[in-house]
Amino acid sequence: MAKKQIKNTKTTDKERKTVTVAFAGGGTGGHIYPGLAIADELRDICNEADINLNLVWIGNSKGMDKKIVESNIGPDEKPSVDKFYGIPSGKLRRYFSVQNFIDVFKIGAGCISAYFKLLKLKPAVLFSKGGFVSVPPCFAAKLLKIPVVTHECDFTPGLATKINSRFATKLLLSYEETKEYIRQELEEKIIVTGNPVRPVFYNTDDEIGKDFTGFKYSRKKKPILFVMGGSLGAKQINDMVFENLEWLCERFYVIHQTGIKNQDSMPVIPDALADSYRSYPFIYEQMPHVISYADVILSRAGANSLWECAVLKKPMVLVPLCGSGTRGDQVDNAEFFEQKGAAIVLNGEYANSNSLRNALITMQDSKKRKLFSEACGKMLPKKRSARYIAEILTENFINR
């Protein structure tokens, strides 16, 4: 008797619905990495819904945007983004500068370039992660009647978000309290999502962090301090560390990300401190595991670093970037975390050796560290922010 043939009902790639989604943002890694976390979650949701996702990124034609986007590999060992498109980009400044006149033409060119790219791509939705390069695509999408969803990671909204919110169908915020800084007529657009964090931060391995640093120690002897000032580094934090290095190494095992631009100006480290101090120009792949491995974090107060540490419930000592070269967003971020009991802040004139020592003496106490950790945990949203935002984006094309 012949065997009954079973019809193959598995959907082929050609039969699956294909959807294009565009992301916009850049200028710094802080505007890109959270977007890539959302991209990975969005791809997972589309796979679950049997949808072919064509995910494109519109960023700065110059600078680091293209390199970061194209080098990021998602959980399925494939690139998170299918295609990167560069556009001309001018910086948005709130102060007088001759460069403002030149950048007006760059912004105009960016709007024209973004318009024709989006016209050809016809995405179901445009997601903006912020930065000055995101404004032209959001403007172009509005003209083309493409839904725009924009996200603000900082406690106070930046200029790009304030502009993009005029074109957006939804305005996503990291903090409930940020609503106070948004115009009342935009209230119906607002959804509080938290700040997206790469999925790997929810699945870290302390052993990877331990193997990476190579420390041979007893944690009962002294805790681990991880110092990070961003990929380029923070001279202010580096100087504070080197001024107090012997004091620090007596009380902590120190892991120090000095920054790429500072690797040629590193002081000679005494051999006597070698067992307690490790320095690296930049840590990327191992970063989640190193943060998880640490007991205390000494850092700037960029939104992404704060939320990555909060997800891992790490006590923090924060030295926010402040002064004329910044709009004060890091100060606002840091003060919020301090008010919630999740960090100690060294701001302005208090960013000195004496204040640093006092803060770290507090952090030597494991019971006090536990209180800071618990405060971090209370700040986290119930749902992973990257997943939540990805689900909001799919409302524009799933079941439609």
**338: buried, middle or exposed (CB in 10 Å: 19+, 13-18, 0-12)?**
middle
- Give CA angle at 252 (250, 254), nearest 5°: 110
Claim to verify: residue 21 and residue 151 sit in the same structural domain? yes
Claim to verify: residue 327 and residue 184 sit in the same structural domain? no
53 sits in which H/E element: strand 51-60
Claim to verify: residue 167 and residue 220 sit in the same structural domain? no
Specify the pLDDT at position 254.
Answer: 96
The residue with tokens 């910086």 is 91
> What count of other Cβ atoms lies within 10 Å of the Cβ of residue 192?
15
**387: buried, middle or exposed (CB in 10 Å: 19+, 13-18, 0-12)?**
buried
Claim to verify: residue 177 and residue 272 sit in the same structural domain? no
Residue 299 lies in a domain: yes
Claim to verify: residue 67 and residue 124 sit in the same structural domain? yes
Claim to verify: residue 214 and residue 176 sit in the same structural domain? no
Residue 227 lies in a domain: yes
Question: Chain-centre distance of CA 49, in angstroms?
Answer: 27
Compute the half-sphere exposure of residue 256: CA atoms within 13 Å on the CB side of its CA. Answer: 25
103: left (phi over 0), alpha (psi -120 to 50) or beta: alpha
Tens of pLDDT along the chain (400 residues)? 444 454 444 555 567 899 999 999 987 777 888 999 999 999 999 999 999 999 999 999 887 888 889 888 777 778 899 999 999 986 665 555 656 556 677 789 999 999 999 999 999 999 999 888 999 999 999 999 999 999 999 999 988 999 999 999 999 999 999 999 999 999 999 999 999 998 889 999 999 999 998 887 666 689 999 999 765 557 889 999 999 999 999 999 999 998 877 666 678 888 889 889 999 988 888 999 999 999 999 999 999 999 999 999 999 999 998 876 677 889 999 999 999 999 999 998 899 999 999 999 999 999 999 999 999 999 998 899 999 999 999 999 987 6
Claim to verify: residue 261 and residue 185 sit in the same structural domain? no
DSSP 148: E
Claim to verify: residue 185 and residue 211 sit in the same structural domain? no
Residue 343 lies in a domain: yes
How far apart, in Å, are the Cα atoms of 299 and each of 130, 231, 256? 22, 12, 10
CA separation for the pair 168, 360 (Å, rounded): 43
CATH code of residue 279: 3.40.50.2000
How many helices and strands, by DSSP H and E, does the chain display? 14, 13
Claim to verify: residue 164 and residue 50 sit in the same structural domain? yes
- Give CA angle at 30 (24, 36), nearest 5°: 55
Residue 251 lies in a domain: yes
- State pLDDT tens for residues 333-376: 999 999 999 999 999 889 999 999 999 999 999 999 999 999 99
Specify the pLDDT at position 7.
Answer: 47
The residue with tokens 């209180």 is 371
Compute the half-sphere exposure of residue 298: CA atoms within 13 Å on the CB side of its CA. Answer: 31
Claim to verify: residue 80 and residue 143 sit in the same structural domain? yes
Residue 10 lies in a domain: no
155 three-class SS = coil
Q: Is the Cβ–Cβ distance between 152 and 172 less than 8 Å?
A: yes
Q: Is the Cβ–Cβ distance between 45 and 394 less than 8 Å?
A: yes
Claim to verify: residue 50 and residue 171 sit in the same structural domain? yes
Q: Is the Cβ–Cβ distance between 311 and 385 less than 8 Å?
A: no
Residue 265 lies in a domain: yes
Residue 154 lies in a domain: yes
Q: Is the Cβ–Cβ distance between 51 and 26 less than 8 Å?
A: no
**282: buried, middle or exposed (CB in 10 Å: 19+, 13-18, 0-12)?**
middle
Q: Domain range for residue 21?
A: 17-197+384-394
Q: Is the Cβ–Cβ distance between 254 and 222 less than 8 Å?
A: no
pTM score: 0.86
249 three-class SS = helix
Claim to verify: residue 164 and residue 256 sit in the same structural domain? no
Q: Which residues partner with 173 through β-bridges? A: 152, 192
Number of domains in the chain: 2
**Phi and psi of 77, rounded to 5°?**
65, 25
Residue 7 lies in a domain: no
Q: Is the Cβ–Cβ distance between 363 and 315 less than 8 Å?
A: yes
Q: Is the Cβ–Cβ distance between 283 and 260 less than 8 Å?
A: no
83 sits in which H/E element: strand 83-87
Q: Is the Cβ–Cβ distance between 342 and 372 less than 8 Å?
A: yes
End-to-end CA distance of the chain: give it in Å, rounded.
46
